Structure 1
Amino acid sequence: MMNRRLFSQSAAAVASLVLMSLPVASMAAEEAPDAMIKRLSNEVLETIRNDASIKSGDVDKIMVLVDRLLMPHVNFRRMTAAAVGPGWRKATPEQQKRLQDEFKVLLVRTYSGALSQVTNQTVDVKPMRAAAGDKDVLVRTEVRGKGDPVQVDYRLEKDGSGWKIYNLNVLGVWIVDTYRTQFGQEVNAKGIDGLIESLVARNKANAAGNTK
């Protein structure tokens, strides 16, 4: 079972995805995906170190950063659809929007507390194995700081606006796959509306916990 120190490191690594200070899409389109991840990782770590409110877990400020900087560079619709599983195709457009909104809040609130753990971490990007024309790639990294390095891998796809992240692996566990198991059980038991209600309840519980 993951010890507390290792959990803090891995959660901080996941938080880097949530808070990436990303540039405009035109610049991202010109960069190789591994170079993009390296630069963005350095930027987000620096941003966290220099912003006391982010380090304290200010969810409202984190959400503003996510909406303004992260969302244009992540295929969040694909992430949510993959996490929900087969039930996504049966959801109405309104239900799909609510699922995306609540899933985003869940991710932000789940990892916001890890931001206080970010101190002197650095990111080492491993050599990428991909052909020149590949449009779906894996970028492997290690987050180094106190304790053992934390493996963080990114799945990215290339579309008309550049490279977009659609999944994240921390210590061998793909985040979307983990939620797919949880969400699938909710959909099977209570349907799409039941999953939405469950996400709303979890987010309210997380919010209440953060205010204590």
Structure 2
Amino acid sequence: MKSLAYALMFLVLGWILPVQAADVTEPTQVVEQMTDSVLTVLQKNEGRPVDRALKKEVANIILPHIDFTTMSQYVMAQYWRQMTSAQQDQFVKLFKELLVKTYSNSLNHYHGQRVKITGSQQISQNPPVAQVNMVIQQPDGGPDIPVIYALLQQGNTWRIYNVYIDGVSLVLNYRQSFGQIAASRGIPALLRDLKAKVDD
């Protein structure tokens, strides 16, 4: 789970470059603008305790850029089709709350890291999927850590539905753990466990 916390943390860090306005927001532009806003907040508060107000401020910046429904569908895989509409809605809500909680706790790991965007590419046209590649540059001179954002175009913007850090997929990590529960104990048990994690 530590790798997931880092993945969520680095979702919001970046080395920001100027971008040009466009009718259709480009994947790199989405990541740059989001990380620019969050990095400004983190730098302003560096050295101070990470309190509830800071967590909320950062969460309000990143949440509009994440497609929790698509992420939930990929996480649950074949079990998504076995869920009722009410169960799907409940899962999306609880999974979002779990990610926000995990991410908020990971803010304490920020100590001046820099992230450099190294490129982006279109993965598919139908559906329109792209990826933005980054490397995390450690302040102590440690090895760079590769990060990949997977984004899906929705209308005139792109939203993140998966994050890979050092080759580890956030979606696959949760799919393995949630899938085991769904297979052995059923969907209702999974939802109860997820709610317990959120409320803990």
TM tier, shorter chain? 0.7 to 0.9
Structure 2 residue corresponding to 1:189, chosen from 184, 192, 196: 184
Stretches of structure 2 lacking an aligned partner (at least 5 in a row): 15-20
Q: Which structure has the highest strand share of the two?
A: 2
Deviations along 1:33-87, one digit per CA (max 9) or x if unpaired, are 12332332232122123247995253x7635753x44333221101011111211
Kept after mapping to 2: 8 A contact 1:45/1:118:
no
Which residue in 1 is equivalent to 2:115? 123
Q: Is 1:102 aligned to residue 94 of structure 2?
A: yes
Whole-angstrom CA distance in 2 between matches of 1:127 and 1:102:
33
Which residue in 2 is equivalent to 1:44? 38
| Correspondence 1:37-186 to 2 at 5 A | 37-51=31-45, 56=50, 58=52, 62=55, 66=59, 68-130=60-122, 135-146=128-139, 147-186=142-181
Distance 1:194 1:108, change over 3 A: same
Which secondary structure state, in structure 2, belongs to the residue aligned with residue 137 of structure 1? strand
Amino acid across the alignment from 1:62: K
Kept after mapping to 2: 8 A contact 1:126/1:140:
yes
Kept after mapping to 1: 8 A contact 2:69/2:92:
yes
Amino acid across the alignment from 2:29: A
Distance 1:69 1:173, change over 3 A: same
Stretches of structure 1 lacking an aligned partner (at least 5 in a row): 21-26, 206-212
Structure 2 residue corresponding to 1:30, chosen from 21, 24, 27: 24
Which residue in 1 is equivalent to 2:18? none
Which secondary structure state, in structure 1, belongs to the residue aligned with residue 134 of structure 2? strand
Whole-angstrom CA distance in 2 between matches of 1:41 and 1:18:
5
Structure 1 residue 197: Cα displacement: 0.6
Amino acid across the alignment from 1:85: A
Q: Identity of paired residues, percent?
A: 28
Amino acid across the alignment from 1:42: D
CA RMSD of aligned residues (A): 3.2
TM-score under structure 2 length normalisation: 0.79
TM-score under structure 1 length normalisation: 0.75
Residue correspondences, number: 191
Q: Which structure has the highest helix share of the two?
A: 1
Distance 1:105 1:43, change over 3 A: same
Whole-angstrom CA distance in 2 between matches of 1:61 and 1:96:
30
Kept after mapping to 1: 8 A contact 2:119/2:134:
no
